[in-house]
Amino acid sequence: MRSRAMRWVTAVAVAVSLAACSNSNPLTGGTGGDNNPMTVTVGSANFPESETVANIYATVLRINGFQVTTKFDIGSREAYVPAVKDGSIDVIPDYTGNLLRYLDKNATATSATDVVHALQSALPDQLTIANPAPGEDKDAVVVTRETAQRWHLHSIGDLAAHSAEVKFGAPAEFRERPVGLPGLKKNYGLDIAADNFVPISDGGGPATVQALASGQITAADIFTTSPAIKKNNFVVLADPKDNFPAQNVVPLLNKAASSDKLVKVLNVVSSRLGTDGLLALNDMVSGDQKMEPDKAAQGWVGLVQLDKPIG
């Protein structure tokens, strides 16, 4: 699987071309009130993975006859969910677990199926979703290859026997979040002492990666599609009890702008977008290649054979 991903990365690097330009103002205009179902505005949040997936949506929709405007780098969920509701944008990639918790602060669902069912119930009248992708970008307990081999680690539960020796690095809020240290203790018996928790505020970014790679910490909370996992040969420990909520990529749509054809196209895109694909895309965009998101997106579209209209 890894060798296929490497061939995929190499092929994309040589098989891409420029995408269409985006609108410079992220929240002007919009097509929510447009009666033409073939006119669509695609948005993204303000981080590379969101922009890359949004470019995939835009590219495939154009191939299938839609007139597409793009409004990227909108900001956080607090900015773009209201924009989808009011029709400033028509579709944006989101993540099932975090979107659910944004809409329902008391949500407790964690498995992929339960999260989607709860999300469908939590959506306000103005919003709908297409099918979630199998690919997800979620929290994970990550260790070095050396630690995994030394302690024979495969899942988070395997780490529990070494609780007293584990220095755990994560954002400060991970100490109290139900899916953070309390959840790891409840679900797996991984009991991290207060003195062994190392707060690192970069959300699994470079500081966390450096602390793990250098041995300052033993385990870390890092998102599963971080290019640093592959680059550093880190090991993601399995989470069979779904301590961390599923975070499958899902198209979030303005219901008034939705149509059968729009949902059909987005469903096909979702069906082809796996976690390995997200990893490879992030590696190209945020790794050493520094490829533009639109170029990475167009390469992916060609390689998964979505570069022709869907029948």
What is the residue-averaged pLDDT of the chain?
Answer: 90
Quick one: pLDDT band at residue 178, thresholds 50, 70, 90? confident
Q: State pLDDT tens for residues 221-261.
A: 999 999 899 899 999 999 999 999 999 999 999 999 999 99
Residues linked to residue 94 through DSSP beta bridges, in sequence order: 250
pLDDT at 297 exceeding the cut of 90? yes
pLDDT (0 to 100) of residue 1 = 45
- What CATH homologous superfamily does 2-136+247-303 map to? Periplasmic binding protein-like II (3.40.190.10)
Residues linked to residue 249 through DSSP beta bridges, in sequence order: 95
Compute CA 200 distance to the chain's CA centroid, rounded to the nearest angstrom: 21
Quick one: pLDDT band at residue 24, thresholds 50, 70, 90? very low
**pTM for the full predicted model:** 0.79
Q: State pLDDT tens for residues 195-225.
A: 999 999 888 889 999 999 999 999 999 999 9
Tokens representing 309? 């209209």
Mean per-residue pLDDT, 29-49? 81
pLDDT at 3 exceeding the cut of 90? no
Picking from 305, 311, 277, 269, the residue whose alpha carbon sits closest to that of residue 54 is: 269
pLDDT (0 to 100) of residue 118 = 98
Within the chain, residue ranges assigned H as helices are 2-14, 48-63, 77-85, 96-103, 112-122, 145-151, 156-159, 181-188, 206-214, 227-231, 260-272, 275-286, 293-303
- Same fold yes or no, 2-136+247-303 and 141-236: yes
Q: Which CATH number is 141-236's, of 3.10.580.10, 3.40.50.300, 3.40.190.120, 3.40.50.620?
A: 3.40.190.120
Residues linked to residue 197 through DSSP beta bridges, in sequence order: 168
Sorted by where each begins, the domain ranges of the chain are: 2-136+247-303, 141-236
